[in-house]
Chains A and B, each alone.
Chain A
Amino acid sequence: MGLGVYQSLFDVFLLNCGFAFSQFIVLRAGVFSIASAAYAGIGGYATAILVTRYGVSAPVAVAAATALGLIVAGVLSIPLARLRGVYQAIATLAFVEIVVSLGFYAEDLTGGAMGINGIPKLVGTGTLCVALGAVLYLMVAIDRSGLGRAFDTVRQDETVAGSLGISVQRSHAIAFIISGGIGGLFGGLQSLYVYSIEPQQFGFALLVSMLASIVLGGRGTVIGPIIGTAILTALPELARPLAENRPLIHGLLLIVIINYLPHGVADSLALLRRRRRAANAV
């Protein structure tokens, strides 16, 4: 029985990792989009509706959710191309709220506040591992390609990016679209894992936990979101005896890490190692 508990915790960790990478990729490119929760909601509802009402097979439904995420993010990136920083955050937060509201009020389609129940559980640890593996492969490939460097440059300074022949608009749009695809994919997988979905679960709380895993883990390296998610997934379990004080521990941990490891756990350690190696190289 003990193993079963850990396995479901591991599954939740895999799902949260997927969500974290949807958030990670936009921040990497210097886009302060927090629309990932909305992509997850769109992917989740699309999959649940296709599977429960139209009897579509799981792989096709999840593929459709991913495609929908890509398309929605691509369309969203056009009006948002003119915004930067905190204005992007505000606009994408509004988008998240719109998607949640649609979940509540488009009752015929989404089941309203009751959500969609009785979704068959068609996704297990294996599928989640494969999906996360694919996302990790994509992230590492981007990291090692010119696109990763382009993202880093755009994030630091847009004038410099221009002077290096990097299109800021294109980089931002690519980051948006990848984020949408990953969000839609894992939203879809989650729906086929949790039996039922409701609008509330794609709102502010999900958005904060996605952002928190990047803040905790770091946005510079691929390992960052995984470490952040591992901490955030394990912590509530470890702090279980503290019951209602769990959010307190959560908040404390964030404050400590932001203060002492401002680049996140993974990036701060990587930076330290690089500095040391660079110092030895002199």
Chain B
Amino acid sequence: MMLTVKNLAVAYDGIDALRGIDLTVAAGELVALIGPNGAGKSTLLNALSGVVRPRSGSISFAGRSLSRTAPHRISRLGLLQVPEGRQILADLTVDENLLLGQLALGARKQRHDLASVRALFPILAERRRQLAGSLSGGQQQMLAIGRALMGAPDMLLLDEPSLGLAPMICTQVFDALRRLNADGLTILLVEQNATRALASTTRAYVLEQGRIVHTGASADLAADGRIIAHYLGTETPDLQKERDLT
């Protein structure tokens, strides 16, 4: 297993945010973690990347326990997070942002360079000298993923990559993730957009109120009546539109 989470619990000021989380991701898998707003998806990702300390339970990555490891050391081990809201450095150019990603390499070998990232996202080649802050939301998301790739991840954690993106751009981003996965990159994808996440992944976990309530093959979950009722079918078109705008 590349990532094994056992009986993980996280609490903020004594209030449980996550309880009894068991989750595994094998090398080469593309796994989705879906669930409604406030279910604890981002908390789980932040526990994996060391930003949040778990109250109990264990996390191991490539056979190493991560329970007491600082965030920057976790990144240097090859478990890289693409944070929610992209968080590129607006005052630096596209290329400077990408080169920044190499800081996470530590002693590990480079796997992507500027050329291979540009091949994956051609728009980043076109905009190479532009300030990152002047890119559109979708381009910034591509830049954030490209920057993470420069750090040679063995496993990528993505927090809501579809957030605020137009459907067409979203498709491009998910296509790129599938291509990266086909090339051997292990990915854990956190998404509120369940339809899209289940369509792009092989396996999924459903998180609700800090617990994993369903797990299985993405195709099965997408066909499951209960899941459809809970996460896919209950949204009115207006709500969907509102989220696309935020």
- Interface secondary structure of A, over-half rule: helix
A271 close to chain B: CB less than 8 A: yes
Across-interface contacts of B50 in A (CB, < 8 A)? 162
CB distance from A168 to the nearest CB of B (A): 7
Across-interface contacts of A169 in B (CB, < 8 A)? 70
Q: Does A164 lie within 8 Å of B129, measured CB to CB?
A: no
Chain B, range 132-164, C-beta contacts under 8 Å to A:
134, 147-148, 151
B222 close to chain A: CB less than 8 A: no
CA distance A220 to B51 in the complex (A): 27
Residue of A nearest to B81 (CB): A163
B131 close to chain A: CB less than 8 A: yes
Chain A, range 87-132, C-beta contacts under 8 Å to B:
none
Q: Does B72 lie within 8 Å of A161, measured CB to CB?
A: yes
CA distance A152 to B97 in the complex (A): 11
CA distance A156 to B132 in the complex (A): 14
B114 close to chain A: CB less than 8 A: no
CB distance from B106 to the nearest CB of A (A): 6
Q: Which of A15-23, A78-86, A199-207, A273-281 contacts B (4 or more CB under 8 A)?
A: A273-281
How many residues of B sit at the interface, in one of the four size bands?
35 or more
CB contact under 8 A between A281 and B91, given known A150-B103, A163-B81, A163-B148: no
CA distance A39 to B138 in the complex (A): 47
A133 close to chain B: CB less than 8 A: no
Residue of B nearest to A220 (CB): B91
CB distance from B160 to the nearest CB of A (A): 14
A165 close to chain B: CB less than 8 A: yes
A160 close to chain B: CB less than 8 A: yes
Q: Which of B7-15, B82-90, B192-200 contacts A (4 or more CB under 8 A)?
A: B82-90
Across-interface contacts of A146 in B (CB, < 8 A)? 103
Q: Does B83 lie within 8 Å of A159, measured CB to CB?
A: yes
CA distance A220 to B49 in the complex (A): 29
Q: Does A160 lie within 8 Å of B87, measured CB to CB?
A: yes
B53 close to chain A: CB less than 8 A: no
Q: Does B83 lie within 8 Å of A163, measured CB to CB?
A: yes
CA distance A282 to B151 in the complex (A): 27
Across-interface contacts of A220 in B (CB, < 8 A)? 91
Q: Does A166 lie within 8 Å of B72, measured CB to CB?
A: yes
A149 close to chain B: CB less than 8 A: yes
Q: Does B131 lie within 8 Å of A149, measured CB to CB?
A: no
Q: Does A165 lie within 8 Å of B104, measured CB to CB?
A: yes
A157 close to chain B: CB less than 8 A: yes
Q: Does A152 lie within 8 Å of B89, measured CB to CB?
A: yes
A57 close to chain B: CB less than 8 A: no
Q: Does B104 lie within 8 Å of A163, measured CB to CB?
A: yes
Q: Does B103 lie within 8 Å of A166, measured CB to CB?
A: yes
B24 close to chain A: CB less than 8 A: no
CB contact under 8 A between A156 and B89, given known A162-B50, A163-B80, A164-B103: yes
Q: Does B151 lie within 8 Å of A159, measured CB to CB?
A: no
B232 close to chain A: CB less than 8 A: no
Q: Does A281 lie within 8 Å of B75, measured CB to CB?
A: no
Give 5 new A-B contacts, CB below 8 A, not counting A162-B70, A220-B91, A281-B130. Answer: A159-B51, A162-B71, A163-B104, A165-B72, A278-B134
Q: Name 17 A/B residue pairs within 8 A (Cβ), A-sorted.
A: A152-B89, A153-B89, A156-B89, A157-B87, A159-B51, A159-B71, A160-B87, A162-B71, A162-B74, A163-B83, A163-B148, A164-B103, A165-B106, A168-B72, A278-B129, A281-B129, A282-B130
